[in-house]
Amino acid sequence: MSAASHAVRLGLKRGWIEFSQSLKASQDIGFNIFMAGGVLLYLFFNRNETIEGSDLLLPALVVPGILGGLVAFSLILGPAFQIAIEREDGTLLRAKAIPHGMVGYVIGQVVLHTLGILPLFVIILLPSLFLFDGATPGDFAGWLTLVAVLAVGVLATMPWGLMLGSVARGPRGVSTWGMLPVIGLLVISGVFYPITAMAGWLQVIAQIFPVYWLGLGMRSAFLPDEAAAIEIGESWRTLETFGVLGVWAVIGLALAPIVLRRMARRESGSAVEARRQQALQRVG
């Protein structure tokens, strides 16, 4: 057993422990209830709305879109904010002081944030089963597609979140360079209503980024084939979905280790102290 693979196992365990902690932490429970509550209220008040150009009800279209959007939101911003905060509070430095501690830390983050989307999924999907028609995958193939899209979606987004947290100047940097762009993408990517309602150039931009494809992939898992009629090209474009998400995943996975290593190398006690002083000045 090498010390590095041992650290990978410890990272898995670390992620699991932190996930359990998050399930019991009032801050995280509050966030999940707030997010899910907002989504469910929006769906409930529009439960009888039909989508133009089809006989679909709004919840059927929007539930998968929002779940896709949440994957991008949680897996980019979750690790980004946490790493930025934990560079400030000394967690990363602590990991650096331990043999292979950084390996354990990063694996822990990956596990924590991957598992971290489950509570939101459950509290959005479970009520949707009872409240709305057709807002869950109709058959086994649909569930399989859901898992496949989720898997590639996680890989396409998480490395970028890890990198963002590593290069940002504190949590504020993540708000500016992460939160605003991601929210912007959510707005233009057809998550809350069909993308075809957007101006053409916005549609082009949206299709460069993973958010749109995550939403589309999720819709292809949930909705019957006829529903593809209202999508761009009147198709689920499954190949393109996995293609674009795959390209983001490959580039992200190739760059992330370089960026993370560079960040880790620069961590030191005085760097943490300097950031702490800066943070105090912001408060004061």
Partner 1 sequence: MDQTVRAGHDGADTVIAVDDLRMTYGTVEVLRGVSFAARRGEVIALLGPNGAGKTTTIEILEGFRLRSAGAVSVLGVDPANGTEDWRARLGIVLQSWRDHGRWRVRDLLAHFGEYYAPFASPQQKRPRDADELIAMVGLAEHAGKKIATLSGGQRRRLDVAIGLIGRPDLLFLDEPTTGFDPAARTGFHEVVQRLAGEESTTILLTTHDLAEAEKLASRILILAGGRIVADGSAAELSRRVSGQTEVRWTRAGEAFRHATPDATRFVRDLFAEHGDAIADLEVRRATLEDTYLTIVRQHDEGGEAAAVDAFEGAA
Enumerate binding residues for partner 1 (CB under 8 A).
1-4, 6-7, 10, 13-14, 17-18, 21-22, 25, 86, 89-91, 93-94, 96-101, 104, 267-270, 272-273, 276
238 is written with which tokens? 């499954």
Q: How far is the CB of 101 from partner 1 (least distance, A)?
A: 6
Nearer to partner 1, 22 or 136 (CB): 22
Nearer to partner 1, 29 or 229 (CB): 29
Residue 57 has phi, psi (to 5 degrees) of -85, 150
Nearer to partner 1, 139 or 273 (CB): 273
The 3-class SS string of 94-124 reads: HHHCCCCHHHHHHHHHHHHHHHHHHHHHHHH
Q: What is the DSSP letter of 50?
A: B
Separation CA 165–CA 148 (nearest Å): 26
Q: How far is the CB of 261 from partner 1 (least distance, A)?
A: 14
Q: How far is the CB of 259 from partner 1 (least distance, A)?
A: 19
Q: How far is the CB of 262 from partner 1 (least distance, A)?
A: 13
Q: How far is the CB of 255 from partner 1 (least distance, A)?
A: 23
Nearer to partner 1, 112 or 228 (CB): 112
Q: Which of helix, strand or coil describes residue 55? A: coil
Separation CA 54–CA 179 (nearest Å): 33
Q: How many residues does the chain have?
A: 284
Separation CA 21–CA 47 (nearest Å): 35
Separation CA 32–CA 15 (nearest Å): 18
Q: How far is the CB of 3 from partner 1 (least distance, A)?
A: 4
179 is written with which tokens? 């939160």
Nearer to partner 1, 37 or 269 (CB): 269
Nearer to partner 1, 11 or 65 (CB): 11
